[in-house]
Chain A
Amino acid sequence: MSRLRRREALWFYLFASPWIIGFVVFLLGPMIASVYISLTDWDSFTPPKWVGLQNYTRLLTDDPVFWKALWNTFYYAAISVPLGLVIGLWLANLLNKQVRARKVFRTLIYLPTLVPLVATAMIFKMVLAPSGPLNDVLGIFHLPGPSWLLEAVWVKPALILLSVWGAGGATVLLLAAMKGIPRELYEAAEVDGASAIRQFWSITVPQLTPIIFFNLIMGLIGAFQVFSQVYILTKGGPNNASQMMVPMLFDEAFNFYHMGYASAISWLLFAVILVFTLLAFRTARRWVFYETEVK
């Protein structure tokens, strides 16, 4: 018995080793290194100088751009994630109805997720032009369209618009989960006289909460790490109005050669993401419903 178990353990480690080694060498190692680097002043060329917590104190007390980037990232995450979820849920619900050409719609809604982000961003540059198509549409309703990417107030909403463009990714997952909800639940509700809206809130949504929760966590992490859109569309401008955490740390590390400072930013970002993910998990007990769990 013990020989068998030991062999089993050996095989387990053998098969798991590519991932364990990959994790240790390419993730854990660099992570530990970056903790050290974040405590130094390092330009990536000359030997690092130990500065203790100075990078962190400077970030938190003496760098207006950092606070601006942090605020922008919060702003972006706080709106784009819930908005993406609501729209994803709405689209999934529409697709779940017995409409004609449902497969075509499903493809069309998922399609934006497949277009490379760079291409999407380039197109959005035109769509968001001061006299571009979006403002033409707003013009029909007699709304004066702003110069989206040029104005400090509108540049973040513009980036959020771009993120909503990819809501189709969540839709597919939600739709699959919707299909998995047992029919009997709806039949029973109908017998009890529940309206369609009541059914949606009391059956569909609770049954979907695990998927919503998954999308929330992934969305949060993705939103806090937003990079390409910012880098292509605005480079953080105008005057850092759209500067986010990751583009900022990229600038510091690879344009300004402040590798230590950039490492400190990345650890603060890690802490922020960790706090929000933990928060989501903590509250999850209250609103995420697992069938296998008996409360």
Chain B
Amino acid sequence: MTMDSSRLSRRGFLGMGLAAGVITLTACGSDNDKASSDGNATAANLVMTVWGGESDKTAYQKRIDLLVKKFPELKVTLQLIPNDGYAQKVQTMIAGGKGPDIMQVAESVNVYSSKNQIQPLDELASKAGIDLEKRFGSIGKLYSYQDKVYAIPDRSGAMIVFYNKTLFAAKGIEAPSADWTWDDALAAFKELTVPGKQWGYAGSGWWAQWWSFVYQNGGKIIDDSGKPAVATDEVIEALQWAGDLIFKHGVVPTQKQYADMGADVGGDAAFANGKVAINTTGFWGISGLTKSKIDWDVAPLWKGKQQAVTAFGSGLAVSRTAKNPAAALKAIDFLTSPEAQQQIIATDQDVPANIEVQKSEAFLKPAWMTKPVNMNVFGESSGFVYRAPFIPQWNEMQKAFDDGLADFWLGKQDARTALTAIQKRLETIVKPA
């Protein structure tokens, strides 16, 4: 009798285990609950997620403070998530039904839009009277998927050229300009290189860099029909040019030489140390250099057959779980208005996407700048920005490039072989929408 009862309770526990399993199962399986109701833009508690570090937090918080001051009925809680964990954290928040009302998105925006995890904003934006083209210029509809806008641009700046003025002056080379051709650039790199000690250019191993050359050369990573097109002559030629800078001309440090400069030293750090004369990176390079001992300035990127340059930035989207999308959009409307966007440059965070602010004195001569820097480059470059393919499989595509180009960047493979293999891989990853 006693044995029986204890066996029964053991079975009971097993049953509980199964039940718990089933509950977890159903909880995970049926997340697609009701679409959020279209609330009116009255009082709302909003959660906003952004990535970055402490300085980003300050910048966003200042803008939110301005917002709340103007619209006291809106309450915004800012959640800063470290870069590395951002995607995962937001993924679990949305999957758990508690997604952020306002979320920062960038290149991987269409991971969310293609799966209906963020809401199309066209209607809300036009209702709120936001003219995207007028406010943000050519990048107004950057974060679109299948002709619908899913995020409002918030920060946006082209990749720019940083050059070491001292080294340029010593060789009597004129400052880089948008009119430089590949040959002009190469000639300058060669002049500025001292074998084994100093290099003309920091290199272009990052997608943002060599893709600029691809688009300058008339190539495309993803063609207009949505298919990968990286094994074309234009792309191959551009990549080979970038690779030749390292192995044929020796004007860019090899990976080995970089690894010897210290742990995690890349182009930005090598430029700040005066080891390379030219570096191509984004706005953050400026704040990184305000304390550097070298004398530097910035210029727009050179050109190939045509002008083209990658832009960095991010937008603000409204997740599907937002209870009051209208209020969220009202907040975004204000956050991207000149009044709030001014804080982005005032706090030395980034380039504001609002072109009115980009042209303002506050942007061209920021208070924190320790020396005159040609801030006009961002305005000058904005017309050159190409439309990068923000496909839903963005992360997988980047991994395919990382894997497929590993040998190329070590000088063990030519561009044609590498890109032909990558094209095959991409064809299995990228399915045209």
Contact = CB atoms under 8 A, between A and B. Distances in A.
Interface string B15-39: 0111011111100111110000000
A31 B21 contact: yes
B260 A129 contact: yes
B111 A257 contact: yes
A78 interface: no
Interface size class of B (residues with CB under 8 A): 35 or more
A126 interface: yes
Given A28-B17, A45-B94, A255 B399 contact: yes
Contacts of B403: 65, 237, 239-240
Interface string A126-142: 10011110000000000
Interface string A109-141: 000000000000010011001111000000000
A29 B256 contact: no
Contact of A46 (B2, B9, B115, B255): B115
The size class of the interface chain A forms with chain B is: 35 or more
Interface stretch (B128-136, B278-286, B375-383, B404-412): B404-412
A47 B406 contact: no
Interface stretch (A32-40, A85-93, A177-185): A32-40
Contacts of B395: 255-256
Interface string A71-96: 00000000000000000000000000
Contact of A33 (B16, B25, B262): B25
A149 B406 CA distance: 12
Interface in A240-259: 240-241, 251, 254-257
A254 B88 CA distance: 6
A72 to B, nearest CB: 13
A30 interface: yes
B345 to A, nearest CB: 32
Contacts of A46: 32, 115-116
A6 B7 CA distance: 11
Contacts of B259: 129-130, 132, 147, 149-150
A238 B259 CA distance: 14
A239 B404 contact: yes
B263 interface: yes
Interface in A42-59: 43-48
Contact of A48 (B29, B88, B115, B399): B29
A180 B140 CA distance: 74
A255 B16 CA distance: 34
A98 B399 CA distance: 54
Interface in B382-420: 393, 395-396, 399, 402-404, 406-407, 410
Given A28-B21, A122-B263, A237 B28 contact: no
Interface string A56-70: 000000000100000
A13 interface: yes
A247 to B, nearest CB: 12
A196 interface: no
9 contacts: A9-B5, A13-B9, A24-B20, A29-B25, A32-B24, A33-B28, A47-B30, A132-B260, A255-B399
Given A9-B6, A36-B29, A122-B263, 10 more contacts: A2-B1, A9-B5, A32-B24, A33-B28, A45-B31, A131-B260, A238-B407, A238-B410, A239-B406, A257-B115
